[in-house]
Structure 1
Amino acid sequence: MTPETVIPFFTRADGQYLFARWGRPVVPVVFGVEDATLTTVKGALEAVCTLAGHRMAETDPELGANLMVFFCRDWAELLAVPNLDRLVEGLGPLVARLEAEGANQYRVFRFDAGGAIRAAFVFLRMDAHLAAVQAEVLALGQAVQAILLWSDRAFATRAPLAEAGGHVILHPEVAALIRAAYDPVLPAVARDPAHALRLAARMGLAQP
């Protein structure tokens, strides 16, 4: 990786560079799974937060929980979740779009006044593809994608996970990028691609 290859991780399809990390401790809650899967998901989130040097907490003073993960078998199930339409604006049209596209996952982020992440909603429709993925692998992949505001194309051609010794792990380059992103010297929000140079420098990858 070079600074030039860091930039696409945070450059959206419209060409805008937009980086944001969490500005408060992460407080997760998981819906629609058994206790064993709940423990797996929270364990993955804790591992990624530890990697980032970021904190988790028992409660968010403003929201109670600020990272909500929903597992469902059909997108229409989301419409029956009490008050979810108050938390996710335009929930009805969103569900219709996800159904039309045949999507199996979607993430919504909310931001504070400074632009840092204040809340995130992760929706997973357990189709045949996701159901075939080991719970630990699925949980780790979702934790990675929730810890930062990645580009909508960041993992279109490269997976955040890799295989090593018969085990699935976080890709070393992605892990290094997450660590760098939470360096307290760096801002929580950035819109200038020059920010990628600072990320690469903290990864030890800046070119002379």
Structure 2
Amino acid sequence: MTVEAAEIEAMFTRGDGSYLCARWGRPIVPVVFGVDDATLSVFKGAIEAVVALAGHRMAETDMELGANLMVFFCRDWAELTEVPHLDRLVPDLGPLVDRLQGAEANQYRIFRFDAAGAIRACFVFLRMDAHLAAVSADTLALSQAVQTIVLWSDRAFLDVSPLALLEGAAVIRPEVAGIVRAVYDPVMPAVARDASHALRVAARVGKMQ
């Protein structure tokens, strides 16, 4: 499996043309709201698997936030305005809910960064419309885990999912898995804003074959 630098560059080039890749700068502490215990277990298992793929770490608690990867399930975006203290974590929550309702979106992710630019927190919002309800918990969990382990471009997976099917089971596409491992290589920076970073990622992917 070969991934060209141009493909990698596209995955981290945002809609405004800027290049930005960031990884987590601290252990990940996930919490999931609005699901039953079985689905919670599936999500935590998927996050653990992707964190292990990256060679990163998880922890029991985050000293600053308690939990730093928060996943919220809802049936209607308006439910988010009723979550206690969520407006403290997500400024302008009301206008955000209005935008999500207007766009009829079913998912949204917000990243927060530390002083160095590495990821320090991520908030994932999932509205269980007919489309998401038709997706298995395993597939949905793995997809969200992949999309939160790294700050991808806002256009990275618009046309192609980060997952593929292998004997009926969802798996991370090999090229995506390779990029994740390369981005988390200790020799790589936690944050990069120059497209030359894509060349380094491509070289790391090649060495990992």
2:56 aligned with 1:48, yes or no? no
Q: Which residue of 2 aligns with 1:131?
A: 133
Q: Which residue of 2 aligns with 1:35?
A: 37
Displacement of 1:95 in angstroms is 0.2
Q: Which residue of 1 aligns with 2:22?
A: 20
Could you tell me the percent identity over the aligned residues?
A: 70
Letter in 2 for 1:29: V
Q: Which residue of 2 aligns with 1:181?
A: 183
2:74 aligned with 1:67, yes or no? no
Letter in 2 for 1:56: M
Displacement of 1:157 in angstroms is 1.3
In 2, the alpha carbon distance for the partners of 1:19 and 1:173 equals 16
Letter in 2 for 1:4: A
Letter in 2 for 1:16: S
**Residue of structure 1 aligned with 2:153, choices 130, 151, 154:** 151
SS at match of 1:30: strand
Q: Which residue of 2 aligns with 1:118?
A: 120
SS at match of 2:206: coil
Residues paired across the two proteins, number: 205
Structure 2: gaps (5+ residues): none
Displacement of 1:141 in angstroms is 0.1
Q: Which residue of 2 aligns with 1:89?
A: 91
SS at match of 1:16: coil
In 1, the alpha carbon distance for the partners of 2:176 and 2:159 equals 14
- Superposed CA deviations along residues 11-55 of structure 1, whole A, max 9, x for unmatched, are 000000001000000000000000000000000000000000000
Q: Which residue of 1 aligns with 2:170?
A: 168
SS at match of 1:7: helix
Letter in 1 for 2:32: V
SS at match of 2:144: helix
Displacement of 1:127 in angstroms is 0.2
TM-score if structure 2 supplies the norm length?
A: 0.97
SS at match of 2:48: helix
**Residue of structure 2 aligned with 1:6, choices 5, 8, 33:** 8
**Residue of structure 2 aligned with 1:77, choices 60, 76, 79:** 79
In 1, the alpha carbon distance for the partners of 2:133 and 2:42 equals 15
In 1, the alpha carbon distance for the partners of 2:10 and 2:87 equals 32
Letter in 1 for 2:194: D
SS at match of 1:145: helix
Letter in 1 for 2:56: H
- Superposed CA deviations along residues 138-177 of structure 1, whole A, max 9, x for unmatched, are 0000000010110000001111000122221110000011
Letter in 1 for 2:42: T
Displacement of 1:97 in angstroms is 0.2
Structure 1: gaps (5+ residues): none
TM-score if structure 1 supplies the norm length?
A: 0.97
SS at match of 1:202: helix
